[in-house]
Amino acid sequence: KNQVEQSPQSLIILEGKNCTLQCNYTVSPFSNLRWYKQDTGRGPVSLTIMTFSENTKSNGRYTATLDADTKQSSLHITASQLSDSASYICVVSRSNDYKLSFGAGTTVTVRA
């Protein structure tokens, strides 16, 4: 079954601190993995995308890693800001069709 598991389900961090979110997947055959940020009541916005051959991808204070062998990915947020408070969703796509497999998301709350 094509699944995407994210952890933790939620976390609270102080402004300025770093945090790392985890994503494990069983989707196959693998095409790419994306991390999205979804603000409350808004649609997801793409942060990073990584294909099989890419190990890391950065977008400002967001850095994603991918280990295609262990089927694990992480999203690291550096020097968190209040605006980072959102749900972060790991999405994996298969190479044989167009469908996306979504993780349940990690809700990040940044407090001053």
Partner 1 sequence: GAVVSQHPSWVICKSGTSVKIECRSLDFQATTMFWYRQFPKQSLMLMATSNEGSKATYEQGVEKDKFLINHASLTLSTLTVTSAHPEDSSFYICSASLAGGPLTDTQYFGPGTRLTVL
Binding site for partner 1 (CB under 8 A): 31-32, 36, 41-46, 89, 93-100, 102-105, 107
Using an 8 Å Cβ cutoff, are 35 and 89 in contact? yes
- 18 vs 26, beta carbon nearer partner 1: 26
What's the closest the beta carbon of residue 97 comes to partner 1, in angstroms? 6
Residue whose entry in the numeric block shows the structure tokens 């992480």 = 74
What's the closest the beta carbon of residue 45 comes to partner 1, in angstroms? 7
- 42 vs 61, beta carbon nearer partner 1: 42
* Largest CA-CA distance found in the chain, in angstroms, rounded: 45
What's the closest the beta carbon of residue 7 comes to partner 1, in angstroms? 14
Q: Which long-range contacts (CB under 8 A, 24 or more apart) does 68-72 make?
A: 68/30, 71/24, 71/25, 71/26, 71/27, 71/30, 72/22, 72/23, 72/24, 72/25
- 18 vs 95, beta carbon nearer partner 1: 95
CA 18 to chain CA mean position, Å: 15
- 8 vs 16, beta carbon nearer partner 1: 8
What's the closest the beta carbon of residue 63 comes to partner 1, in angstroms? 22
